[in-house]
Structures are given as structure tokens and as C-alpha cells.
């Protein structure tokens, strides 16, 4: 099920709308955001996903992490 999220990539100048699937892992979610921002920020190999001020396990899915429509998540270096 699609979940629209506000994604903020460290180093970028604007937040982006990322359409995630609730079955996406957070690793996939991070990659989606990095791809979406690649015009402005070079992709990094090691990143973390932060949600509600907590670093999340990248193997969790969007649903397992509790991310809901129009929540904010951050992808930061790692």
C-alpha cells in the first residue's frame, strides 16, 4: 500500500515527497530518497534512517517502523 512521506536527505536544500510502499524496507526507502535528490546530493553508501529522533533498523519495513502517511523521515550519513 502506498505511503506518501516527507523525506529529508542530509545535505539537500529541500524536503521531497517520497511515495513509499508499506512493504519497502527502510534501506529501500533511503535509496528512493537518495535517487530523488541525486541532482543536488551525491549518493552515499552508508546512511541511517531517522524517524521520530530515533535511528531505525534498515531491515524493518515502512509498516513495521510505524511510518504513516505524511510523516517526516531523515536520511543522514552514516
On whether the CB atoms of residues 41 and 11 are closer than 8 A, the answer is yes
User: Which of the stretches 12-20, 23-31, 56-64 binds other proteins when contact is defined by CB under 8 A?
Assistant: 12-20
User: How far is residue 66's CA from residue 49's CA, in Å, rounded to a whole number?
Assistant: 13
Site for other proteins in 31-60 (CB under 8 A): 36-37, 39-42
Give 20's strand partners.
3
Q: Which residues touch 16 (CB under 8 Å, ≥6 apart)?
A: 6, 7, 8, 9, 33, 36, 37
**Residue 66 found at the interface with other proteins (CB under 8 A):** no
User: Which of the stretches 13-21, 22-30, 59-67 binds other proteins when contact is defined by CB under 8 A?
Assistant: 13-21
Residue of 57, 66, 72, 78 that binds other proteins (CB under 8 A): 72
Residues binding other proteins (CB under 8 A): 4, 6, 8, 10-18, 36-37, 39-42, 69-72, 74
Amino acid at each position: 500500500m502506498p505511503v506518501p512521506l516527507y523525506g529529508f536527505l542530509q545535505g539537500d536544500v529541500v524536503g521531497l515527497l517520497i511515495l513509499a510502499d508499506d512493504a519497502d524496507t527502510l534501506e529501500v526507502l533511503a535509496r528512493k530518497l537518495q535517487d530523488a535528490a541525486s541532482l543536488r546530493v551525491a549518493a552515499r553508501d552508508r546512511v541511517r534512517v531517522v524517524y521520530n529522533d530515533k535511528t531505525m533498523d534498515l531491515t524493518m519495513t515502512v509498516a513495521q517502523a510505524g511510518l504513516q502517511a505524511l510523516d517526516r523521515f531523515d536520511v543522514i550519513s552514516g
